[in-house]
Structure formats: structure tokens, C-alpha cells
Chains A and B, each alone.
Chain A
Amino acid sequence: MANENRPVPKPDVYVPTKPFWDGARSGKLMLQFCKDTQRFQHYPRPVSMYTGSRNLEWREVSGKGQIYACTVVRVPGPGLEGRLPLSVATVDLEEGVRIIANILGSNSEVVTIGQRVVLAWDQIDGDTPYPAFRLA
């Protein structure tokens, strides 16, 4: 989904996120993992949301999950040109972590809560992969 007006995010502006972006380029969804509690968290934070420690690393997740909530964005906004109506969902991954993502390749009307999804890749400006999902 190429879109000249869709800004390509800069990594590392908030916390170090390079593993997420490098992973995306090799087709892997990499999320932050708390080594003390053996749990993932997303979005990435400066510390573990479970313990407050910085004992964190990045690990690949399966990309398999279930739709927790879903909507269809129908109003224009920055970066949305040519993407409406846009299917947006929160997905609970098998690893016990929730991510906001687009559901690609389906008429947005058929996307419903509870459906199984698998990882898919959106392209932000034609060559920057960004994680999304499609119905399994």
C-alpha cells in the first residue's frame, strides 16, 4: 500500500526500537520481552511494565493471534489518504501481548472479534514493511 503522504517513522525516538524495524525488514515481528517475568510487552517501554527493571530484550513472536477489538476508520487524517475505509484491530497474540494493527486483504465489514489472524506485512512507503495481519 504505497502512499507518499504516509510518514515513515524514525526508530529510536522514544526508546531504542531498532530491533523492531530490523526484524520487520527480514519478515519477523520482534517485540520487547521481560526476562525476569518471561512476558512480552507492547508498545516498547523504557522498563518492564511488570517489574520496573531494564532487564529487557527483543524476541520474535509467532504472529498468530485473535482479534480482540475492531473498527473501521472512515474519516480522513494525516497518513490516511487512499487507505479509507481502514480496518483497524487490536490483536491478542498467542504470546499474551496485544498490538494495534491493520487487517489487510479483507473487506473491513467481515472482520469480527474472535477471528484468528496471522501476520502480514504492510508497506509504509513501498519499501518499509510494517506489521499487519490477515484473517487466518
Chain B
Amino acid sequence: MPESDTVIVGYSETKVVFKSGRSAYDFAGEAFASLLERTGVTKDEIDGLSVTLALSEAGNPFFTVYMADALGLTPTWLNAGAIGGCSAIGGIARAACAIRDSMCKIALVLSADAPSTAWRANYGAYRSEFQDPPGVQGPPASFGLLMSRYQHQYGLQAEALGKIAITQREHGLANPNALDKFRKPLTMDEYMGSRMIADPLRVLDCVMFCDGANAFLVMSEDEARSRGLKKMVRPRAYAEVTNFAGNESCPDITESGFWKIAPEVFRKAGMTPGDIRMFQPYDDFTIAVLMQMEAFGFCERGNGSRYVLETDLSYRGALPLNTGGGQISAGQPGLASGGLNLAEAVRQMFGEAEGRQIENPSTAIVTGIGVIPYGRNWGTSAAMILEAANG
């Protein structure tokens, strides 16, 4: 991503819904129409489009082209976001490059998915022969394995994971877009008593697949100012890695791609962990949040449990964590999930996070995680540092 003058000038997000009966296109349309209204940009001015590939439309290799058609767009730059939960911030970073290189001027970064209504994905590859037979069909078994190893190497306190779930639930209560089912407080007793699904992983450590969409508009800062747009967020730095340790057959799985990219994204932004006002990490499972706190240097490696238990992670605290509830407490709209925590970061920087607004929301880290590979942690890790550029 260029050391850019590119800015995010608008965001929109639908409510997260379980088994809505609606398609990714319909959710996308809702987010898109709302984004046009909020920014005053007209449809035909948008000449760049990044679309996150959706589980619910996975059978269509031309999903991005179909989406352009559905929305009545004629992009000169089109990108398929194929890195799952990294696709939203990855889409912003790629859009910034496209704008710099004059492939487009105004880009829409769109993620919509409805896997709780229609699941059309089949990962194929080695899975039927080597992953399904021992019973590792879904993410919980893989994360049970990962947690067991982390616990073995560093020690893991269930209360720390419980605190992550409870803090995010409190934040989700103030988010009207969160899944209705989750809009009630959570206690430590409820967390500790929740069903073990793949030891030591509890059901309340996990997300629930839902339906929903989010969308962002990206343009140069000059363009934004010439339009009189006042609220903007500058993506200061971005880093991404896929298949970390991909040439090792017995890697340390407690070390993720974030160990490589966290120092890189701080270096590119010229910042340190102490400069970060809010942490909006990808949260498919609570352990992923804890491991990222270590990777981004908010605490020492292996010290995640103690750090979580000692730190106020609320929106008023030292390190506000997933202030919209994250996916764990707002619901995971399939692969559109990568945009959920990004939308919350932008909302905070626009000063629009009613009921959970952070004081001085000047900087944020937003991350993504994409796909769970054979016997490791996750396939793609991505991180973006954002800063408020309101003027």
C-alpha cells in the first residue's frame, strides 16, 4: 500500500441477521445504497470495485462481475477479495494502490455474505482424504488443537478468554447492528459453564455464522476535500502474509503470520503499540484475540492471559477491544466478517459510536484472518493501522 494520501470517506453496515432468507446481493445492495446516501457520491462516479468472495455465492467464479452488474456499476478496476476475513482491509489496501496507479478514482470495497441462509462452498483439495476422515471438518476442532498447544507452551486461563467474550458482549449491547440473540449481558459463570465443543474450546469462545454486509468508499484525500467531505480515515499502513511457515512440516503453531507482519505494520506507520487507541482484531475465536495481543506487542509472548485479566479492555479502558462487540458478539456475517471490525473502527473515528464512543479515537489496528489450513493456525494474516483524518 502506498504511504498514501488515500482515505476512507464513508462506511455502511447492515444489521447482522441469522437465517435471513436473503442473498449476499440483497445485503450488498442495502449497504451500497446507504453508503451513497451517507457520502453524497453518485453511483456512476464509482469506477473501482473490490468484492469479497462469499461462501453463499461460492459456486459462481464471476461473483464480482455479477455484483458490479447487480449494483449498476461500470468499474475500470475490479478486485476479488479472496482472502476471507482479510478481504476488507486487503481490499482497502489494494484500492489505495489502484487509485495511486490511476486505475480508478473512487473505489467501493464491499463484503456481503449470507452463509446461514445458503452455504455453497466446498473447499475440495486434500480435505476429503486427509482432514475429514479424522473428524476435523470445521474450525472448532482446529482451534481446539491450537488452544491445547498454546496452553501446553504458555498456560492459558479460561477466565481470560471469558473476559474477552464478556467485554465484547458488553460492547455488542450498544451496537444496534449486532445479532439480536446476542444482545443480552454475559456472565463469567455462563461462560465457564458453556458447552465444551473441542477441548479446551467452549461454545462461547466461538462465532456464529450469520448474514450481513458492509461497504467502504475510498478516494484520494484531495478528491475528498474537493467534495467537501469532512469525516475521513487514513489507512496509514498495511501488511499481509499468506501461508506463514509454509515450507515447514512441523512449525510452532502458536506462532502465526502476525508475528511477521505486526512489526512490519508498526514500522510502516512509524508507530508503537503505545500509540494505538483501539484494537479491533479479527475474532473468530477468543484465543485468536489473545494471541494477537501478544503478536502486536501489547504484552509479552505467552503472557496473554495475565494481560487480559489485568487490563481494562472496555471502550473506556487502556486498550478498547472490539468496541462493536466483534464477530463473537455481533455475529459473523460469513466472509463479510472482515469488514465488521473495520466498520467499527471507522465509526469510532467518525465519532458515531453512540453508547460506546472512545475518547480521542485517533488511531486503530484492524486485523483479518483467512482460512484454517491443515494442522496449523490460519492461512492469511493481515493488519492495517488507521488514523483519523477528520478536517
Write the residues of chain A forming the contact surface with B, with a CB cutoff of 8 angstroms: 6-7, 9-11, 13-14, 17, 20, 39-44, 49-50, 68-75, 77-80, 83, 86, 88-90, 92, 96-102, 113-114, 122, 124, 130, 132
Q: Which of B129, B147, B199, B250 contacts A68 (CB 8 A)?
A: B250
- Which one, B112-120, B136-144, B185-193, is touching chain A? B136-144
Q: Tell me the B363-384 residues at the A interface (CB within 8 Å).
A: 374-375
Q: Which of B140, B149, B374 contacts A43 (CB 8 A)?
A: B374
Q: Is the CB of B375 within 8 A of A100?
A: yes
Q: Given A14-B129, A74-B197: A69 and B250 within 8 A (CB)? A: no
* Number of B positions contacting A (CB below 8 A): 37
Q: Is the CB of A13 within 8 A of B128?
A: yes
26 A-B residue pairs with Cβ-Cβ distance under 8 Å, sorted by A, are A9-B128, A11-B129, A13-B124, A13-B129, A14-B125, A14-B129, A40-B249, A42-B130, A43-B130, A44-B130, A71-B145, A72-B144, A72-B199, A74-B199, A75-B140, A77-B138, A79-B135, A90-B145, A96-B249, A97-B250, A98-B375, A99-B375, A100-B134, A100-B136, A100-B145, A100-B375
Q: Which of A14, A50, A71, A96 contacts B201 (CB 8 A)?
A: A71
B146 touches A (CB below 8 Å): yes
A-B CB pair tally, cutoff 8 Å: 124
Residues of B within 8 A of A101 (CB): 134
Residues of B within 8 A of A71 (CB): 141, 144-145, 147-148, 198-201
Residues of A within 8 A of B134 (CB): 88, 100-102, 130, 132
Q: Given A7-B132, A90-B145: A43 and B249 within 8 A (CB)? A: no
A47–B197 alpha-carbon span in the complex (Å): 35
